[in-house]
């Protein structure tokens, strides 16, 4: 019998909560019967969205009316106290009552409250925010996406190890291939931090991944590498640019396919291919940023996603725990 995976869920964060959170849990449970959900938030609001056929043995509601607001600064969120649904969910992981925590709430607040409650993995100086991106050959792990604006060579090397461990947890059949995001592929390009990181990774005995050197922004989707490392400033800009480009392509394609009679006829003739294209760029498939480097994994679901996107974030949770992410990082970081 598969081990029961306990997920601490902040049910009050993000748009349309708690309904989309509960609907996401219901959708996720259909394919993940070995999951147990510890749901934090207003019980009166939560219970009304739980379907009658959802087994009571698979969830527990921990009641609180206090929440972190989307408009709160990280400091304001921390000052709201220890009874918010976000704080209690993170504390639940700290106390080892659950395996992993997820929230669709305020990103800055989630990172700060996580760092206040959870310890760093030994020998790691800074945690990183990572996410999954599609590429031509599958998926890539990209980090850091905004948790650390300034990074040292050691931080970037740590991110390489953590990102590789994350990839192997999510996709056990894949070999990790690491590259540093830079302004060129030549050794002499980039700032001093990234050049020093390049030299150290070249000399390091990288048993857990293959170091592939530099990668430029226009190569991110090629699939030649699957772990892309950057400081938080560069990674966040790259992420927002990629998201904006994907949204632009899908919206312009939709306009061209529905704006004229020929466009509509073309749409009908190519309906199968268009459906595949839309599914490939569907952001819900890649929903779920992962805050790694702490002794328990923290998952951030996009606040604006729907229940399908939240369900996919829950799937990231189960795969991370099944893949023993923390053990992999701990083993590889030493």
Place of tokens 């749901």: 39
Token couple for 257: 């396919």
What's the CA gap between 79 and 23, in Å, rounded? 30
What's the CA gap between 185 and 222, in Å, rounded? 14
The pairing of strands 289-292 and 59-63 is unpaired
CATH number for position 153: 3.40.718.10
Which pLDDT band holds residue 280 (cuts at 50, 70, 90)? low
Q: Do 158 and 218 belong to one domain? A: yes
The 8-class DSSP code of residue 4 comes to P
Token couple for 216: 């430029």
Phi/psi at 40 (nearest 5 deg)? -110, 125
Q: Do 195 and 262 belong to one domain? A: yes
- Say how many domains are in the chain: 2
Q: Do 317 and 187 belong to one domain? A: no
Q: Do 324 and 274 belong to one domain? A: no
Which pLDDT band holds residue 166 (cuts at 50, 70, 90)? very high
The pairing of strands 59-63 and 100-103 is unpaired
- 171-187 pLDDT, tens digit per residue, is 999 999 999 999 887 77
pLDDT surpassing 80 at residue 216: yes
Q: Do 270 and 331 belong to one domain? A: no
- Give yes or no for a contact between 18 and 11, defined as CB atoms under 8 angstroms apart: yes
Q: Do 215 and 325 belong to one domain? A: no
Q: Do 234 and 332 belong to one domain? A: no
Mean per-residue pLDDT, 223-251: 83
The 8-class DSSP code of residue 87 comes to H
Average model confidence (pLDDT) for the chain?
A: 88
pLDDT surpassing 80 at residue 270: no
Question: What DSSP letter does each residue of 263-303 carry, written as one string?
Answer: HHHHHHHTHHHHHHHHHHT-GGGG--EEEESBSS-EEE--T
- Give yes or no for a contact between 38 and 92, defined as CB atoms under 8 angstroms apart: yes
Q: Which of 239, 224, 215, 223 is nearest to 136 (CA)?
A: 223
**For residue 172, what are the domain limits?**
126-286
| SS3 at position 43 | helix
Q: Which of 100, 114, 63 is nearest to 84 (CA)?
A: 63
Q: Do 221 and 190 belong to one domain? A: yes
Q: Do 71 and 170 belong to one domain? A: no
pLDDT surpassing 60 at residue 1: no
Q: Do 194 and 135 belong to one domain? A: yes
Mean per-residue pLDDT, 204-223: 88
Q: Do 80 and 179 belong to one domain? A: no
- Give yes or no for a contact between 99 and 263, defined as CB atoms under 8 angstroms apart: no
Q: Do 276 and 130 belong to one domain? A: yes
pLDDT surpassing 90 at residue 325: yes
- 114-140 pLDDT, tens digit per residue, is 999 999 999 999 999 998 888 888 889
Question: 135 vs 223, 227, 253, CA distance in Å?
Answer: 5, 11, 20
The pairing of strands 128-135 and 138-143 is antiparallel
Instruction: Supply the pTM of this predicted model.
Output: 0.86
- 42-82 pLDDT, tens digit per residue, is 999 999 999 999 999 999 999 999 999 988 898 888 888 88
Token couple for 79: 């000052």
């Amino acid at each position: 019998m598969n081990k029961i995976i306990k997920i601490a869920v902040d049910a009050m964060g993000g748009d349309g909560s708690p309904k989309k959170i509960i609907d996401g849990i219901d959708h996720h449970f259909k394919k993940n019967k070995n999951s147990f959900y510890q749901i934090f938030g207003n019980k009166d609001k939560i219970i009304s969205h739980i379907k009658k056929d959802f087994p009571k043995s698979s969830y527990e509601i921990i009641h609180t009316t206090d929440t972190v607001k989307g408009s709160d600064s990280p400091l304001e969120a921390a000052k709201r106290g220890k009874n918010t649904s976000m704080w209690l969910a993170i504390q639940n992981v700290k106390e080892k009552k659950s395996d992993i925590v997820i929230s669709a709430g305020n990103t800055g607040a989630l990172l700060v409250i996580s760092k206040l409650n959870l310890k760093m993995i030994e020998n790691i100086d800074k945690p990183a925010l990572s996410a999954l991106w599609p590429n031509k050959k599958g998926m890539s792990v990209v980090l850091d996406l905004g948790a650390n604006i300034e990074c040292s060579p050691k931080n970037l090397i740590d991110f390489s190890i953590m990102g590789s461990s994350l990839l192997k947890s999510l996709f056990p059949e894949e070999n990790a291939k690491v590259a540093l995001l830079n302004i060129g592929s030549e050794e002499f390009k980039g700032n001093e931090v990234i050049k020093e990181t390049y030299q150290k990774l070249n000399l390091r005995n990288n048993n857990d991944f293959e170091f592939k050197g530099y990668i430029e922004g226009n190569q991110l989707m090629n699939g030649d590498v699957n772990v892309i490392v950057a400081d938080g400033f560069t990674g966040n800009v790259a992420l927002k640019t990629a998201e904006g480009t994907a949204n632009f392509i899908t919206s312009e394609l939709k306009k061209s396919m529905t704006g004229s009679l020929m466009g509509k006829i073309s749409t009908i003739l190519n309906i199968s291919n268009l459906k595949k294209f839309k599914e490939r760029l569907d952001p819900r498939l890649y929903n779920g940023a992962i805050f790694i480097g702490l002794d328990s994994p923290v998952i951030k679901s996009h606040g604006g996603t729907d229940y399908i996107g939240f369900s996919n974030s829950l799937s990231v949770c189960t795969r991370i725990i099944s893949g023993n992410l923390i053990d992999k990082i701990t083993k590889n970081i030493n």
